[in-house]
Amino acid sequence: MRATVNHAVKQAEVPEPSGAAGPFHARLPGYRPTPVRELSGVAGELGVAAVSIKDESDRFGLPAFKVLGASWAIECALRDEPDARALVAASAGNHGRAVARLASERGLGCRILLPKRAAKARREAIAAEGAEVVMVDADYETAVALAREQGLEDGVLEIADVGDSASAHRVIDGYATLFAEAESQADFDLLLVPAGVGSLAAAAARFAAGREVFVVGVEPVAAACLSASLEAGEPAAVATPGTSMAGMDCAQVSAAAWPSLLHGIHGTVSVDDAEADRAMADLAGEGLAMGQCGAAPLAAIRALATDDRCADLREAVNFGPRTRALLIGTEGVTDRSVA
C-alpha cells in the first residue's frame, strides 16, 4: 500500500489546538522558533510552487521536536502531583531523551524503557542525560505497557506520548507550538508530517482544521499503522518487522490521537528505508542534517508527485503547480551509524 485517501475527513469534528502550551514554551530558557528552510530545488524538480521544511534538528538543544510535547506534559503532571519524585516513559529514542533531559533539569529521577531494537546511540544519548535506561526484550508496545505499570508506583509519573492517558493528550497539545510557529514563517497549503503513533500528526490535523490546509501522514512501509487504521475506519495493529525510521517503528496509533487523525488527516504515503536514506542524503547535500524520520516527508512528497499509486491522493489534496508544501523535518541525525 503506497498511499491511502481518507474518506472520513470531517474537519469540523477536529478539536481546536491548545492555546496554553505556546506561552509556556515561550517562557522557557533557550526558547526560539525552529527555522523553516526553502527547498527550491525540490519545488523545481516536482513542478510545484514551493517546498520548504520545518527544521526540528535543534529544539532546546535536543535533536528532535519531542521536547515540546514532553515539556508541556511534565509541567501539567507536576501541577497535578507536585510531590512526584520520578518520571518514567517508554520510547524509541527521542521522546525518552526529552523526558530524561527535563527530569534532570527539574531534579527528578527518571527511568526510560526502550524496546530491544533501539539503537545503541539512542540508548547512550538517553543515559548521558542521567536517566536509568531499561532495555525491554520485546517490542515498543510492550515497553509502553511496562511503563504504564511503573507509572502507578507511588511518587512516579508516567509521561507517555501514546495511549489515552492525560499525558498522551497533553503531548499533542504541546506540539501545537510547532505549527503556530510554522504559520508565522511560511505560506503553505499542504503539510507532510511523519506519523508514527500519530501524536504529531494529530496536532497537525488540529492546526489545519480551521485553515485551508491539507495534511498527509508519512509512514514507513514496514510500520504503516495509520494507513491500516484509516482503511479500516478504526485503530488497527500491524506487524512491524523493523525500519531504520526508528521513531515511526510503531504497530498502532495512539488512542489520544485517533479521533483527530480519523477526521483531520487527508491521507497517507508510505516510504521504504531506501527512499528515506536517499532523502536524508539529499538534505545533507543542502546542508540539512536530518535523521531518517525527519527526511521521510521529502521521500513522501516525491512519491506523491510521481508515483501512479498516489494518483487518487494527489487529486484529493489538489496537488499541482500551485501547491505550497511544508515538510515537517522531525529530527536531526540521532544515530550516526546509519547516517
- What are the domain boundaries of the chain? 3-64+172-338, 67-167
| pTM assigned to the model | 0.96
Model confidence pLDDT, tens digit, residues 16-53: 888 899 999 999 999 999 999 999 999 999 999 999 99
Give Cα separations from 133 to 50, 125, 234, 244 (angstroms). 42, 10, 34, 21
User: Which amino acid, residue 27?
Assistant: R
Residues 6 or more apart in contact with residue 98 via CB below 8 angstroms: 62, 64, 66, 67, 69, 70, 71
Which three cell numbers mark 233? 475506519
Which three cell numbers mark 171? 503531548
Which three cell numbers mark 94? 527521542
pLDDT of residue 339: 42
Model confidence pLDDT, tens digit, residues 234-285: 999 999 999 999 999 999 999 999 999 999 999 999 999 999 999 999 999 9
CB 271 within 8 A of CB 306: no
Mean pLDDT computed over 100-117: 96
Q: Do domains 3-64+172-338 and 67-167 have the same CATH topology?
A: yes
Written out in words, the top-level CATH class of the domain with range 3-64+172-338 is: alpha beta
Asked if the 67-167 domain carries CATH number 3.40.50.1100, the reply is yes
pLDDT of residue 306: 97
Q: Where are the beta strands (DSSP E) in the chain?
A: 3-5, 36-38, 50-55, 86-90, 109-115, 132-136, 156-158, 190-194, 214-220, 267-271, 324-329
